[in-house]
Amino acid sequence: MRNIRTRTFLFLFALAAAFCPTFAEDCQDLTALRLPHTTITLAEAVPAGGLTLPAPALPMGPPVDYQSLPAFCRVAATSRPTSDSDINFEVWMPLENWNGKFEGTGNGVWLGAIIYPALAEGLRRGYAVANTDTGHVGGPADASWALGHPEKVIDFGYRAVHETTVQGKAIVTAFYGKSPAHAYWNGCSSGGKQGLKEAQRFPEDYDGIVAGAPANYWIHLLAATVWVGLQAQKDPASYIPQQKFAAIHKAALDACDALDGIKDGVIDDPRKCHFDPKVLECKGADGPDCLTAVQVETARKAYGPATTPSGIQFFPGLEPGSELAWGFMLGGHEPNRIGTDYFTYILHQDPHWNPRTLDFDKEVAEADKLDQGTINAIDPDLRKFKAQGGKLIMYHGWADALIVPQNSVNYYESVVKVMGGARNTEDFFRLFMAPGMGHCFGGEGPCNFDALSVLEQWVEHGKAPDSIIASHSTAGHVDRTRPLCVYPRVARYKGTGSTDEAVNFTCSLPN
């Protein structure tokens, strides 16, 4: 009898395995999945710690321990919605403990490559996670791929992310046999711009969006990088050596650190800081701790708004407190290529165009007209996103020297105006400004926080965030925590307890 029962059990087990294949087997079967204008090029089950990345991989962000990843189904696909489109993307899906959700992740500057660290982080959190190369292959400062390829510019501007989202969700549904319960976007810089573009153009794609330090006013941002660079390189004497950035930073802190009532090495709201770099003007010979008269003028222009010769201000200036990272804007002997490549390969379509001939009055306006919202993501009308229940968290570091933080404030306030006031905006869109934080991460202020978990609580449980707790670490040790408050509120010290502990602060409107 026992042998009969054993044989019966083994037969039923084999039968179940035949008709209910494991996720690993299901993964390999995805190569046969049929999707609109999309081909699955790879579908493989990757064992825990068994990921081998293709070469060359162009990761962005901090180093990632790929050997610690759980087992997952890795799918690579190519979408060709037009004859000149070649949108590559990947979707990584946990073989166990899927959280039931989909996460789209962002890119950086002009980069045409899959961002594997973003995929790894989403997978580790239990998400089915996707990322795209935005429809081309190229480095972060290279837009030469756009020459003669207007469809690829559209792919980069918005279509690649939307295609990855739609087809990615279909792959996830086919693999697990059910649709994701929620979809989230998580990106910073260009990824923040991509998130805003999704909310503006495809409001049904995501339930929640984290948009960090968004490069959403793309054309004006890139024009400003050229403008600032030209001020610094107007002539050799105008150039500020990077060795002097620390002295400028210290002088800015000396002037404005204590404006919030606490001297902690961070400028709380640099808009209240009226620092004039003339205090550093050399009294005698030039030296590493002072600025020559022409260098003072270069620094003043860096802090000021980018302005056309006719006096039109087209992008905000750098903020006091950002000086340690000025190398991006002011650190070369030529204007930054990230900025010039737009005008070279998209506006002028001339590889030999000279950036020093840029007519800021004429050509910035021409670029806006040409773009018509393809790359720019500045539409303030988010009513459709709000109507379908979407939630949006935007954050920006006040010490960001790559994308100036006032840009995010300007966009948020434009949405408030369209939505009919702050109350009608805060119920779906909240902005958090981070004192002392650099571009997307790092800086002297608390800059480590989990906006995605906060967003999940808002979307899934209706818990709108009044603050986000951020921390700062030195050598791996947390040495400060501080609340990031919903703009325009700021963190105010209660007057007792350590100023390095968030519990001793409250969020209130500025004085």
Distances (CA, A) of 25 to 18, 88, 94: 11, 23, 13
d(C-alpha 53, C-alpha 65), whole Å: 12
The catalytically annotated residue of 136, 162, 439, 472 is: 439
Order of all β-strands in the sheet with 128-132 = 38-46, 72-79, 87-94, 128-132, 101-105, 182-188, 208-212, 391-397, 429-434
Q: Which two tokens stand for residue 27?
A: 């993964």
Q: Which residue among the candidates 189, 190, 322, 467 is catalytic per the annotation?
A: 189
The two tokens of residue 142 are 């290279």
One DSSP character per residue, 129-150 reads: EEEE-TTS-B-TT--GGGTT-H
Cα–Cα distance measured from residue 268 to residue 452, given in angstroms and rounded to the nearest whole number:
24
Clarify whether 427 is annotated catalytic. Answer: no
- Among 149, 400, 408, 467, the one annotated catalytic: 400
Tokens standing for residue 474 = 């030195």
Q: How far apart are CA 180 and CA 175, in angstroms?
A: 11
What CA–CA distance (Å, rounded) separates 98 from 177? Answer: 12
Q: Where are the beta strands (DSSP E) in 398-466?
A: 429-434
Structure token digits, residue 56: 């060359």
Residue 59, judged by CB atoms within 10 A of its CB (0-12, 13-18, 19+), counts as: middle
- In sequence order, what are the residues at sequence separation of 6 or more whose Cβ sits closer than 8 angstroms to the Cβ of residue 100? 180, 181, 182
Both structure tokens of 194: 């991509």
Q: Is the peptide bond before 465 cis (omega within 30 degrees of 0)?
A: no
> Strand pairing of 306-307 and 490-493?
unpaired
Residues 6+ apart with CB under 8 A from 177: none
Write out the DSSP string of 12-50.
Answer: HHHHHHHHS--HHHHHHHGGG--BTTEEEEEEEEEPTT-
> How many alpha carbons lie under 13 Å from residue 138 in its C-beta half-sphere?
21
CA neighbor of 156 nearest in space, from 207, 104, 110: 110
d(CA 184, CA 504): 32
Q: How far apart are CA 34 and CA 170, in angstroms?
A: 10
Asked if 142 is an active-site residue, the reply is no
Positions marked active-site: 189, 400, 439
